[in-house]
Amino acid sequence: MKTTVVVYRSKSGFTEKYARWIAEETGADLMKTSETKLEDLLQYGTVVYGGGLYAGGINGVKLITGHLGELAGKKLIVFGVGASPCRPNTAEEVRNANFTGEAREKIHFFLLRGGFDLSKCNLKDKMLMNLLKVKLEKAPETDKDAKGMLACYDHPADFTDKKAIEPILDCMKSAQ
């Protein structure tokens, strides 16, 4: 059995950057979800999955959550990547929105900050992000997160930080 695989789904490159850093630091195999089947994951003792956040959902995470039974006995780590600052309450909201009670027990979850670059979005995502922009423009002046996100529409931002993967690396090293 192989040791570790890092699987990711990334639309704008921020999740891919974290996945590559994790794979480089650990010597893990690296795969895109589009090239990965359940049979591939069964060869590994540890499966790390990363996906971008879209309306609070972790893109592609059903590759893991939809196969918890088959992946039993494996160490499962999931990280979500979003543009907003990572706060404990935000991480808990994302975790609860994406995982059932059983999945919460079996999956180690981490929330990482990515970035935002509208030019990297496809047409559908651009339309959705422009709807969000209208909502953000109505936010009170005191809402620093909304104002910060609005600034990213004109000036793309990359908040990725290699140090952010350290808790994931520690989790990978610890016993199941």
Q: What CATH class does 2-117+158-173 carry?
A: alpha beta
Q: Where does the chain show beta strands of DSSP type E?
A: 2-9, 29-32, 44-54, 57-58, 75-82, 107-113, 115-116, 157-158
Selection from 169, 174, 34, 71 nearest residue 112 by Cα? 169
d(CA 133, CA 75) in angstroms, rounded, equals 38
Selection from 33, 80, 58, 45 nearest residue 173 by Cα? 45
User: Digits of tens for pLDDT over the chain (176 positions)?
Assistant: 679 999 999 988 999 999 999 999 999 999 999 999 999 999 999 999 999 998 788 999 999 999 999 999 999 999 999 988 888 888 999 999 999 989 999 999 999 999 988 788 778 877 887 787 888 788 898 887 777 777 767 888 899 999 999 999 999 998 65
